[in-house]
Chains A and B, each alone.
Chain A
Amino acid sequence: AQSVTQLDSQVPVFEEAPVELRCNYSSSVSVYLFWYVQYPNQGLQLLLKYLSGSTLVKGINGFEAEFNKSQTSFHLRKPSVHISDTAEYFCAVSVPNSGNTPLVFGKGTRLSVIA
């Protein structure tokens, strides 16, 4: 079975500073990887996904993530954060052509951007 570990439950960062949210996964087979964001009182919204190809994936709102197979990691980065980036971020994994195997989420990282 697949699992996802988000190493930091909370990350405070000053506005305009860079940020990295860490995600490691465990799987015996190839995986697809996703980052979702959840703003207060809302559902989850896709930031970016890695299916295949280039290991550097660019998403919405200036976020990017790098897939590292040897490290089994998919860390999310942004070079300069804004107050509006304050939210909870979830890393998730699925298995290609797995039929109805559900998406497995990490426990989330709460990003707080400080003015």
Chain B
Amino acid sequence: KAGVTQTPRYLIKTRGQQVTLSCSPISGHRSVSWYQQTPGQGLQFLFEYFSETQRNKGNFPGRFSGRQFSNSRSEMNVSTLELGDSALYLCASSLDGLSGANVLTFGAGSRLTVL
């Protein structure tokens, strides 16, 4: 079965621009989580969506937002880009994310470079 698909894989933006990243979860998975990965901070949780509702949010500024559609696909948006937003953005899906035991299946990530 198809894995988690993230698009685009690579993108370059300039400061002040905005960017939208897309994530298609594994079929049947209803929970989608987003993580930011940087060399200095490691993997940091951005937010998690389930049935089109944001259930949890990490400690990121309001410039970072997301949404989930009725087919469980998710997008995240970063507005007014800063140099420090350069990172690998990882999306992960799981069945429902409720028990803590559901394994996260990760996509290959979207590598964002801000110039």
Q: Which residues of A contact B (CB under 8 A)?
A: 32, 34, 36, 41-46, 49, 51, 90, 94-108
Q: Known contacts A43-B90, A45-B106; is A97 also within 8 Å of B99 by CB? A: yes
| A contact face: mostly helix, strand, loop, or mixed | loop
Q: What separation, in Å, do the CA atoms of A98 and B108 have in the docked complex?
A: 27
Which chain B residue has the least Cβ–Cβ distance from A98? B100
Q: Known contacts A43-B90, A90-B43; is A102 also within 8 Å of B48 by CB? A: yes
Contact partner of B50 (CB less than 8 A), chosen from A42, A44, A100, is A100
Q: By CB atoms of chain B within 10 A, which of A46, A90, A101 has the most?
A: A101
Q: Is the pair A100, B55 in contact by a Cβ cutoff of 8 Å?
A: yes
Q: What separation, in Å, do the CA atoms of A81 and B90 have in the docked complex?
A: 27
User: Within 8 Å CB of B108, what residues of A?
Assistant: 41-43
Q: Is the pair A100, B43 in contact by a Cβ cutoff of 8 Å?
A: no
Q: What separation, in Å, do the CA atoms of A43 and B43 have in the docked complex?
A: 11
Q: By CB atoms of chain B within 10 A, which of A43, A51, A94, A108 has the most?
A: A43
Closest CB in chain A relative to B82 CB, distance in Å: 22
B115 part of interface (Cβ distance < 8 Å): no
Q: Is the pair B48, A100 in contact by a Cβ cutoff of 8 Å?
A: yes
B18 part of interface (Cβ distance < 8 Å): no
User: Within 8 Å CB of B55, what residues of A?
Assistant: 99-100
Q: Mark B22-65, 1 if CB is under 8 A from A, else 0.
A: 00000000000101000000110100101000011010000000
